[in-house]
Amino acid sequence: MPFDFSVAPELEERRQRTAAFVTDVVIPLEQRIFREGLTDARRLALQAEAKGAGVFGPQLPSALGGPGLRFDDVGVLLEAAGYSLLGPVALNCAAPDEGNIHLLETSASARQRERYLQPLASGEVRSCFAMTEPPPGAGSDPSALRTTARRGDGGWVLDGEKWLITGAQGAAFAIVMARNDGPGVPDGATMFLVPADADGFQVGEHLNTIDATGVGGHCRVRLQHCFVPDDDVLGEPGRGFAAAQVRLAPARLTHCMRWLGAAQRAHDISLDRAVDRRLFGSRLADLGMAQSLVAENEVDLDAARAVVRHASWDIAEGSRSTEESSRAKVFVSEAVCRVVDRAVQLAGGMGTSEELVLGRIYRDIRSFRIYDGATETHKMSIARRAAARAAARLAGTRGEREGADEGDGGAAGRGTASGP
């Protein structure tokens, strides 16, 4: 099927409105919020402004009050939102809520949609996704999951420890992944909806990570005999990993979309500075080594945008795009880090500061190469798939060759038997 990456006029109008909102409303608030911290009160105030401007929830389906756009069209708007680190928060398309909204929209029961999805989509509450555990528990390898779920009377009892759970402090509920354990339960893992006030659900310390812009920190979470009723099982028991795949590929790509916007901002800041700043008798932008940094950024941004739009188009056309999203995640996470690093270098000493925002973007974007699957984990998966295809191709070639050899051998035998 042919594909077209041009932006339709209606989408371009929406993109411009989103970009204008980020530039005129969000960016002027950055320095104060960076100094004082991003609280839920500030989040709600930003989201009220976004609703008033008609740019709230660009990823939401029409049933949840959103524009109901195709996934590849959403990417155009999420990149515009990501031009400020606070933009996705203001538009309610930041992680982890954006990915959780998508997961709930595809997997939640009618009751769960009313209790959890609708308040989350409206921005009334926040959520978190609790899978990552301290070693030797689950991280890049989900099969190492150690948190257990045992059957109880009318529900399940969860026990385990999570950490680096983004947004856990102040979240209204968590989507918890646990390994089924004990008699009478199917093998595998199950996802559970756990309200923050549930007995046995405890949010602990904030881990002091290098990225610091989100709401609710990156926290330890402990589950101690935490009871979850059957009504709060998300999807089917034992099918948690399969259900999580619904969230996985789109969430990787929406991260790419948002960080692409931030990298473009970093490039624009450094490019403006290179044009204005004079060194050694000429503009910085006219010096060869600076031009090399600018050109490499231009190439990385254009290539990253193409990779994201292709993978997003694939999902919009109905593909699960697991491998395509892995490729995009590897390339974009590395490319945007290169872009921001070069931008800091171009901007010089002030590039390391938060006054130019570059220092904050540099800190926050580095983690992208680790979460949602570290680069090395995705490379391993990509390489294994490539090797499997090569093995299948070689097996098929050998099979064809052997079939041809058998045919030739039969003909030669018949010729010999019938010869003089």
pLDDT 10s digit of each residue in the chain, 420 long? 566 778 999 999 999 999 999 999 999 999 999 999 999 999 999 999 999 999 999 999 999 999 999 999 999 999 999 999 999 999 999 999 999 999 999 999 999 999 999 999 999 999 999 999 999 999 988 889 999 999 999 999 999 999 999 999 999 999 999 999 998 889 999 999 999 999 999 999 999 999 989 899 999 999 999 999 999 999 999 999 988 888 888 999 999 999 999 999 999 999 999 999 888 889 999 999 999 999 999 999 999 999 999 999 999 998 877 899 999 999 999 999 999 999 999 999 989 988 889 999 999 999 999 998 899 999 999 999 999 999 999 998 876 666 655 554 433 333 323 232
Check residue 319 and give its pLDDT: 82
Would 321 be classed as within a structural domain? yes
Tally of domains in the chain: 3
Same domain, 189 and 263: no
Would 345 be classed as within a structural domain? yes
What backbone phi and psi angles, to 5 degrees, belong to 122?
A: -80, -10
The CATH number of residue 71's host domain is 1.10.540.10
Would 164 be classed as within a structural domain? yes
Query: Radius of gyration over alpha carbons of the chain, in Å?
Result: 25
Check residue 212 and give its pLDDT: 85
Decide which of 73, 103, 122 is a domain's last residue.
122
Same domain, 310 and 356: yes
Would 4 be classed as within a structural domain? no
Structural domain that includes position 217: 127-237
Check residue 281 and give its pLDDT: 86
Same domain, 13 and 106: yes
Cβ-based neighbours of 153, under 8 Å, separated by 6 or more: none
Check residue 163 and give its pLDDT: 97
* CB-CB contact of 47 with 87 (8 Å): no
Check residue 402 and give its pLDDT: 64
Same domain, 174 and 197: yes
Would 409 be classed as within a structural domain? no
Same domain, 39 and 98: yes
Same domain, 144 and 74: no
The CATH number of residue 181's host domain is 2.40.110.10
Nearest CA-CA partner of 164 in 191, 137, 193? 137
Q: Is 377 exposed, middle or buried (0-12, 13-18, 19+ CB in 10 A)?
A: middle
Same domain, 107 and 207: no
Same domain, 204 and 292: no
Angstrom distance (rounded) from CA 162 to CA 204: 10
Q: What is the dihedral of CA 259, 264, 265, 268, to 10 degrees?
A: 170
Decide which of 103, 122, 141 is a domain's last residue.
122
Residue identified by tokens 């046995």 is 200
Same domain, 83 and 141: no
Angstrom distance (rounded) from CA 86 to CA 26: 7
Q: How many residues does the chain have?
A: 420
Same domain, 204 and 175: yes
Check residue 414 and give its pLDDT: 33
Would 117 be classed as within a structural domain? yes
Within 82-230, residue ranges assigned H as helices are: 87-90, 97-107, 110-112, 118-122
Check residue 417 and give its pLDDT: 32
Nearest CA-CA partner of 257 in 39, 44, 18? 18
Check residue 4 and give its pLDDT: 74
* CB-CB contact of 155 with 227 (8 Å): yes
Decide which of 62, 93, 122 is a domain's last residue.
122
What backbone phi and psi angles, to 5 degrees, belong to 371?
A: -75, 165
Same domain, 357 and 332: yes
* CB-CB contact of 147 with 134 (8 Å): no
Token output for 150: 């045992």
pTM beyond 0.75: yes
* CB-CB contact of 179 with 143 (8 Å): no
Angstrom distance (rounded) from CA 63 to CA 78: 20
Cβ-based neighbours of 264, under 8 Å, separated by 6 or more: 79, 83, 301
Would 160 be classed as within a structural domain? yes
Given the DSSP bridges, would you call strands 189-195 and 173-180 parallel, antiparallel or unpaired?
antiparallel
Same domain, 214 and 140: yes
Strand-pairing partners, residue 155, are 152, 229
